[in-house]
Amino acid sequence: MTDWMTTSSVEERQRVLDLTPNEREEELKKWIKESNLSHSMKIDIAVGFNKLELYGVNVVKHILAGKETSSKPFGKSGLTSFNTITYAMCNLTHGSRALSEHLYDGYTHHIENYLNEDIVPFLADKHDYVLLKEFSDVWNSHKVLTNWMYKLFNQIDRTHVGLHKGKKSITSCALHCFYRIVFHDVVRKRVRECVLHFMAQERSGVNVDRDQLKSCVQMFELMGMAANVSDVKSIAEATNLPTDISIYRMELERPLLEASAEYYSLQRVQLLGECSMLSYFAQVERAVRGEETRVKAYLNPATLPRIQATVMQELMIVPSDRVKESFHGILRSADSAITLDSEAFPSDFCAHIKTVFALLLQIQDLPAMVSSSATDAEDSSSSMFTATATGATGTVANNDDLMNAFVEEFEKFLLEGVLKIRDMRASYSAPSAEGEGEAKQVTALTGSAKAAADIEFIKNCISFNRRVSLLLSECLQSFSQLRHCLQGAITKLMGGEIDAGSADPVTPTDMLVVYLDKCLRKDNKDQAAVSEADMDAVLVESVHLFKTIRDKDVFIEVFELFGCCVRPPFVPS
């Protein structure tokens, strides 16, 4: 404190505080009139500062303490007398310095003094939810203090700050003081530890006060504003600025991601030892959804891709043999249903496939998710997610390895289904009793038996294509590599000959053409006949099967060769 910052006696300060707002105002107006300040604009720096402190700053502190309840604590005329004093001080010099510069220093001193003597000791012994609540409360009190102090000292902004480029406005100065003295030097570590502690508890199933956590997390965002703002004139203007999450990123998000990585690394070891891979994948999805819920409840939205990346990066470093076995097991759980003439695969199978594939897509999207949330090129925290994770030999840790393993198993699953459908058709042709071993001949079906077998085969082909296509669109997001697998499977299904060892072999393409021709003939009386109501569905499904065949020209040639009576709608005239 400089020599001119004299402080009134305790008795004098209490005497002024005991006065009513109107009485205080009258005393101050009387002093201004007796000193002829309104006309001379001459004032001693020590006297002027003493009046501002005695009748202004001390009253503001009285307001913050809840001891001043008047809606007009500075009288009916408001702040006119204070504006007169500060205006006079801002237009005079004291030695080699303008009084406005001394007044700016005095303003800063009062803010710092209040924080150091009143707020810091108050927060010193607070912990857990009490600390989080009181930290939010003292910030709200500081905003009240800053508003009132601006009303008392706003002439500084109009003169001293306006003439000195780069000087913080008095509101910006007050906000930065709070960031530096209260947040950075005293509570940031304790508050951060509280937030991380309660998040860890919530992950373990303990109910926490999310509203209080949200309020506290928002303080980290506000501290970014308080630390970096320089020219705002009011608290309202400051709070309407774009969110500055630089302090949030550095002081909360980064430690949060590090703690989350450690937590989920331990979870991975525990869960892999306890769960099947299918249950493990469900746990991973549950963990990702849980973090998403937490972010939406009380963290900044920018944290979502980063914390999801952390979860996936830690939990998906898994043994490659177990991953492939799990994919194999999940897909084979539908083996018995692959040849059934039903609308879709079993619901449990679809739910499992959807869960696993959603996780695989998220793993592939991790680098893009994190880089899109980075604030600048030097944000090194995003680089921890873009590199391939390393693990023990035999682990899947690369973004593409898991998807490639799934695609490989899915292709095998489809090809096995193709083989089953063709084997079912082949079973209609029994080996003849003549001959032994390889010399046995296949007795070809004839007449109505062959026609019925061909129709049943084509119906199975259409059903297979329909159900796998539905699985792709509803559970596998029409992923291009998987759709390519279906195309290859259908091409194998519809290629080659059936009854190849007989005198009258036939291809699935032949069967499809004959099936459609019979469906379209109105006078057809055999098993291929369909009602008018079902005709559209049959044609649509046949078109879908046709579209999946790679060599469509073969189909058209065969259709024309048979001389079918009606051209299907998908064959151009």
What is the reported pLDDT for 565?
A: 45
What mean pLDDT is predicted for residues 151-180?
89
What is the reported pLDDT for 372?
A: 59
**Is pLDDT at 144 greater than 90 in this prediction?**
yes
Residue whose pair of structure tokens reads 């800063």 in the numeric block: 108
Model pLDDT for residues 71-130, shown as the tens digit of each residue:
888 887 768 888 888 888 887 665 546 678 888 999 999 999 999 999 999 999 998 889
What mean pLDDT is predicted for residues 239-256?
93
Strand pairing category for 97-98 and 318-319: unpaired
What is the reported pLDDT for 84?
A: 87
Percent of the chain topping pLDDT 70 = 79
Q: At what angle do helices 128-153 and 170-177 cross, to 10 degrees?
A: 160
**Is pLDDT at 556 greater than 50 in this prediction?**
yes
What is the reported pLDDT for 503?
A: 62
What is the reported pLDDT for 349?
A: 86
**Is pLDDT at 201 greater than 90 in this prediction?**
yes
Q: Tell me which of 443 and 458 has the higher pLDDT.
A: 458
**Is pLDDT at 247 greater than 60 in this prediction?**
yes
What mean pLDDT is predicted for residues 246-268?
95
**Is pLDDT at 38 greater than 70 in this prediction?**
yes
**Is pLDDT at 374 greater than 60 in this prediction?**
no
35: Cβ contacts below 8 Å, ≥ 6 apart: 43
What is the reported pLDDT for 163?
A: 77
Least confident of 26-35, 401-410, 418-427: 418-427
What is the reported pLDDT for 289?
A: 92
Q: What are phi and psi of 423, to 5 degrees?
A: -65, -35
Rounded CA-CA distance 33/31 in Å is 5
Q: How many helices (H) and strands (E) does the chain have?
A: 28, 4
569: Cβ contacts below 8 Å, ≥ 6 apart: 539, 543
**Is pLDDT at 32 greater than 90 in this prediction?**
no
Q: Where are the alpha helices (DSSP H) in 477-531?
A: 480-493, 508-520
Identify the top-confidence range among 302-316, 365-379, 427-441, 488-502: 302-316
What mean pLDDT is predicted for residues 274-299?
91
**Is pLDDT at 290 greater than 90 in this prediction?**
yes
Q: What are phi and psi of 7, to 5 degrees?
A: -110, 135
What is the reported pLDDT for 377?
A: 37
**Is pLDDT at 433 greater than 50 in this prediction?**
no
How far, CA to CA in Å, does 351 sit from each of 179, 323, 356, 474?
50, 18, 9, 10
How far, CA to CA in Å, does 2 sit from each of 5, 86, 138, 417?
6, 18, 28, 90
Percent of the chain topping pLDDT 90 = 32
In this structure, what token pair is assigned to residue 431?
């080996």
What mean pLDDT is predicted for residues 406-434?
79
What is the reported pLDDT for 387?
A: 33
Three-state DSSP state, 506 = strand
Model pLDDT for residues 383-394, shown as the tens digit of each residue:
444 333 333 344
Rounded CA-CA distance 315/270 in Å is 11
What is the reported pLDDT for 267?
A: 94
What is the reported pLDDT for 222?
A: 92
Averaged pLDDT score across all residues of the chain:
81
Q: What are phi and psi of 506, to 5 degrees?
A: -140, 150
Residue whose pair of structure tokens reads 């799934």 in the numeric block: 406
What is the reported pLDDT for 571?
A: 44
**Is pLDDT at 178 greater than 90 in this prediction?**
yes
What is the reported pLDDT for 371?
A: 64
Rounded CA-CA distance 367/387 in Å is 8
Confidence of residue 569 (pLDDT cuts 50, 70, 90): very low
What is the reported pLDDT for 380?
A: 43
Q: Where are the alpha helices (DSSP H) in 154-253?
A: 155-156, 162-163, 170-177, 188-203, 210-228, 235-239, 246-248
Rg of the Cα trace of the chain? 40
Rounded CA-CA distance 183/119 in Å is 11
Confidence of residue 46 (pLDDT cuts 50, 70, 90): confident
**Is pLDDT at 442 greater than 50 in this prediction?**
no
Confidence of residue 210 (pLDDT cuts 50, 70, 90): very high
Which long-range CB contacts under 8 A does 550-558 form with residues at least 24 apart? 550/487, 550/491, 551/491, 551/495, 554/509, 555/509, 555/512, 555/513, 558/507, 558/509, 558/510, 558/513
Identify the top-confidence range among 298-312, 347-361, 423-437, 506-520: 298-312
**Is pLDDT at 382 greater than 50 in this prediction?**
no
